[in-house]
Amino acid sequence: MKSKGLLSLLTFSEKRKDLLLFLLEQPSTLTNIRNKFNVSSPEIAPRIREMESANLMYKDPSTKMYTLTTTGMIVAKSFKPFLDMVGLLEKNEDFWNDHDLSGIPEHLLDRLVDLKDCNFYVDKLENIYDSHKVFTENIGHSSLIKGVSPVYFSSYPDYFMQLAIKNVPTSLILTRSVYDKVENEHADKMKAYCAAKSTELYLLENAKVAFVVTDIFFSMSLFFKSGNYDPRTDLVCFDRSGIQWGNDLFEYYLSQAKKL
């Protein structure tokens, strides 16, 4: 089969695509392949022959295991990030379609696949003012905290003052409007936070994304395309790649912020 047929070979058959990605993990016997996909030999044999004909896989005569060819390995390693990205976008299409993504820099949009293992938490309408439960449930267990906030939540000054008292290393970037509101309404808490040895506070003119990243999780919320902030939906990651993506997003905003 000519190489120009590889795209149709993989995209027109779930079994061929899944078999390619399965063998990317490690070579496998026919028995393991049948068990993995819960199929009989007559059902999977045509797919195997098609992929052998396309020079994507072969049966190793010494081990009797089906193995990806060099071509198959190249295709699989290139194909998997694409599928991961599609899976991320399909996981919550409304989130990506309805929100303003301009707060995410281009180099991190290019790495959006790093968030493939994230989950989306959507609060019920009646709990709209009790949002971001994942934040409140996990922030107390974190030993390092960084965040950017272009929105004000009345409960947050207490959270971060307590973190300062406990000497938890905390770095916050606030937009000017949020900073002014906290300074006017919680002057004592702001003073206590800034006086702590383990805290850093930065000022930023504007941001179109709200997030916190710690040593154990990353949580992000966005604005709608209309310009209004969405207080109900959080994207949350607990895996290493998602947390690193969040750290890189923080570094991007830190480079634009002014330390107070």
Question: What is the predicted pLDDT for the residue at 7?
Answer: 58
Tell me the pLDDT band of 1, cut-offs 50, 70 and 90: very low
Residue with the larger pLDDT of the pair 9 and 161: 161
The whole model's pTM is what?
0.80
Structural domains in the chain plus CATH codes: 3-83 (1.10.10.10), 92-259 (3.30.870.10)
- In this predicted structure, the answer to whether residue 3 has a pLDDT above a threshold of 60 is no
What CA–CA distances, in Å, run from 27 to 20, 60, 67, 117, 155? 10, 9, 5, 25, 53
| Mean pLDDT, residues 59-76 | 92
Tell me if 246 sits within 8 A of 168, measured CB to CB. no
Whole-number Å distance between alpha carbons of 151 and 175: 8
Torsion, Cα 135 254 163 141, to 10 degrees, reads 40
Which amino acid is it at 98? Answer: D
pLDDT in tens, 214-250: 999 999 999 999 999 998 889 999 999 999 999 999 9
What CA–CA distances, in Å, run from 58 to 27, 50, 69, 79, 242? 10, 11, 7, 19, 35
pLDDT in tens, 30-39: 999 999 989 8
Whole-number Å distance between alpha carbons of 149 and 171: 11
**Strand, helix or coil for residue 143:** coil
Strand partners, 149: 174
Tell me the pLDDT band of 9, cut-offs 50, 70 and 90: low
Alpha helix positions (H), 12-144: 14-25, 30-37, 41-53, 70-91, 93-98, 106-109, 133-138
Question: What is the predicted pLDDT for the residue at 2?
Answer: 44
- Give the DSSP per-residue string, 91-124: HTHHHHHHB--TTS-HHHHTTGGGGTT-EEEE--
The H-or-E segment that residue 148 falls in is strand 145-149
**Strand, helix or coil for residue 82:** helix
Percent of the chain whose pLDDT exceeds 70? 90
Strand partners, 57: 68
Question: What is the predicted pLDDT for the residue at 132?
Answer: 60
Tell me the pLDDT band of 11, cut-offs 50, 70 and 90: low
